[in-house]
Amino acid sequence: MNFCSNCGAKLVVRVPPGDSLPRHVCDSCATIHYRNPLMVVGTLPEWEDRILLCRRAIEPRLGFWTLPAGFMELGETTAQAALRETLEEARARVALGEAFTLLSVPHVNQVHLYYRARLLDREFAAGEETLEVRLFGESEIPWDAIAFRTISTTLRHFFADRKEGRFRMHAGEILPPK
């Protein structure tokens, strides 16, 4: 961040009065430009005892498997974002269930939220950012080819909860790889 998005002047980095952290400040129009973590929202779609995964057609992690998810847009609720991303990436229509995992990923400034979801039909297909979409039973999950640790963590909680016969919300964090 170099220039003020409001007036175009050069920004300086400084702790504003009453604040405790350095911010990008515009001395020309007095705007403070905050930067904050972003939310990534998606679903864990179920069909009978199988779950839907998408193989990524874009970087990062092109060719790896993921749950349908993406950045929340302005004006959306988390539920709307989850339904939209599921439709965009897997062309899949789902009935949304409970919020299931809420995972902070502080080293990339993201918070990931996954909802449980039930596929309404089997008419899913690869969206623009997806190479293929498939249903996987627990024994078929390609654990070595999962795109992100938020996804493998969400899948592990799902299979563990399903075995226990009781689903609950899991909040946690994903720390940087060693």
Question: Residue 113 or 133: which CB sits closer to its own copies?
Answer: 113
- Collapsing DSSP states into helix, strand and coil, what is residue 11? coil
Name which position in 106, 120, 159, 160 contacts its own copies (CB under 8 A).
Answer: 106
The one segment of 48-56, 61-69, 102-110, 145-153 that binds its own copies by CB under 8 A: 102-110
**Residue 13's beta-bridge partner residues?**
24
Instruction: Please report whether residue 77 would count as binding its own copies according to CB under 8 A.
Output: yes
Quick one: residue 91, left, alpha or beta (phi over 0 = left, psi -120 to 50 = alpha)? left
Residue 142 C-beta: closest distance to its own copies, Å: 26
Residue 136 C-beta: closest distance to its own copies, Å: 26
| Two structure tokens written together for 101 | 């995992």
Site string for its own copies, 129-168 (x = CB under 8 A): ----------------------------------------
Residue 25 C-beta: closest distance to its own copies, Å: 13
Instruction: Please report whether residue 35 would count as binding its own copies according to CB under 8 A.
Output: yes
Name which position in 71, 125, 145, 160 contacts its own copies (CB under 8 A).
Answer: 71
Question: Residue 40 or 141: which CB sits closer to its own copies?
Answer: 40
DSSP H helices in 25-115 = 78-90
What's the DSSP call for residue 48? T
| Start-to-end CA span in the chain (Å) | 29
Q: Dihedral of CA 61/150/75/2: which sign?
A: negative
DSSP string, 59-83: SSSTT-EE-SEEEPPTT--HHHHHH
Q: How far apart are CA 27 and CA 36, in angstroms?
A: 21
Which spans of this chain sit near its own copies (rule: CB under 8 A)? 1-8, 10-11, 18, 20-21, 33-39, 71-80, 88, 98-99, 102, 104, 106-107, 109, 111, 113, 128, 169, 171, 173
